Amino acid sequence: MVKRGSESKVSEWKTVVTVLALVLVYPVGLVLMFVWMKWPMWVKVLVLLVGLVLFVVGILVLVAAVALVAIDPAGQIRKANDVKRKYDLKAINNCLTQYYVDNRRYPVTFDSLVPGCLVEFPLDPKTREPYEYRLAPDGQDYRVCAILENPEESGQFCVDKVGL
């Protein structure tokens, strides 16, 4: 009887150690489980498969997190907005040049460009406000500006009658 009690305590101790090892140090717990424990084989395989699934999910989460940091979606949106701003200002610049060729002066407002040269007037992609337009008092010079978001290019981007 003494032996059975001590075997029972040893078995309980092995179970506790194995489960702790499975939780804390999975590979060691697997070895202990297959060597020490007299659990049915289907339980051992189930524990192995659950551990493998958790490991694969953990790796996928880690890869996704690294990819998300590397891609920097907010930074990409800022860059895309800045590209659109520059494209819009170049289109406005072309329309203002065409307007000047036709009228020998630049328009007082952008309204004169729509619907002639522009189907609709381009707005800032973030603020949805029109770009800043400054006309010289004599009507012979102008400046159209946009504020860039991207920290690498932050500041104003302007076009005038000379170009960029």
Residues facing residue 155 across a β-bridge: 148
Instruction: Kindly state the tokens that stand for 67.
Output: 């990819």
Same domain, 139 and 155: yes
Is 108:135 a contact under the CB 8 Å cutoff? Answer: yes
**Residues 102, 154 share a domain:** yes
Range of the domain at 30: 2-71
pLDDT along the chain (164 residues), means of 10: 62 83 83 85 90 92 90 86 91 88 85 80 89 85 87 78 61
Same structural domain, 63 and 79: no
Domain total for the chain? 2
Q: Which of 48, 71, 94 is the last residue of a domain?
A: 71
Residues 36 and 53 in one domain: yes
Which residue, 144, 153, 69, is CA-closest to 110? 144
CA torsion 50→25→69→67, rounded to 10°?
-40
